[in-house]
Chains A and B, each alone.
Chain A
């Protein structure tokens, strides 16, 4: 659990972060979102004390970070930044093994851990560990960055616009990866982005910031439904709020479930359980139908989703 209590940071005349208070529960993903220069990175960097705070206190699992040994604090927090920050003179393996190495794990255990992480991030190709960062694609490098942050199994993950420099398609793949890792590992995460859609996708709770202040701290759905101010409303885009809402909900939660799975009618297009209502809606619009069959992972039809159900979910 991470608690910020009235935390501020001043750079000369500029009050970059202004009395922010928020709580990130254990296992939750908190996304800091706001326009560039609003103080997101500064807030994040105060959590691992890359910057000292000028006022307020930050507690991790109930303990003030200023009372924790700097090294110990940081070694227990994975840190991922934009443009990866991978060391260009080290191989993938050495980069990932950085923190375990600092923690003096035995060689064999580090090697094992590196393999495990590469598998987790879908990078387990032959010879990949011996590559240098400049030989990787942007997406691969960023995955290695995430693997490096996870290497010593830290309790907390801090990520500063990690996917900011990637193209749209790669970014989406990595966001999906994040969701999977979140489900698998359940790390307490603070994630910084300026992209509200990324925030809506990944967050358990969103912290909207503006000019150093925390404007609203709420679940994605609440942010969409009840924006606290005009600023938040503009940020989430008042026009397509409804559509964004459907993007937050899973087909599986809104559909009408069959009593028994049925064999699938192959001619009819369908959606999967874990896909969003937004995807279902889009398919309906395209097909001109009122309802779609829902499949499970094996392809059996397990239910049906109709327009009315999407409508009900969207409100």
Chain B
């Protein structure tokens, strides 16, 4: 084995891949949210549809989107590899554990939370990404230029109470995943420092509440407006 593959296959190397891909996904969430918030502009979806078209045609965004898929895939693959390895490290378990006395629930259930997020991501991709890219969707025009009416698809989905409930619940899972993941990624990268770590933990907490809350707000508002 070369030193590169040896490093990436070590427990530390695998964790660094988790942390780097996780941090990328965190960055992606911010950009994604900025786009989604345009759904709330009361213009019948014009700003959002124009934005969606710009994103779909921009070559830089195309590269980033391929990267994003690759990173989600890597994050998931390594979460499976790590979880299996960790399970094998304790073949016989304890009859009683008081884990809540020494660690948070989210930190012990990253795998379950991640799996729930994966289900959400797949449903989400099927409903929006796949439909917009390959499905037949209604067109609309602004100033004589044709645009895909992505807003109509989103708005239809968000009038379904089950979909909205699923969305809001999933954002709850995201909040818990991030409540541990955000700060954890920095620790994994070795960035633990008396000056910065308290700040990272605070920013992580605010981020893990604010971002999922704003994501969840959009379908809720659109549902009640409909």
- Asked whether A and B interact, the reply is no
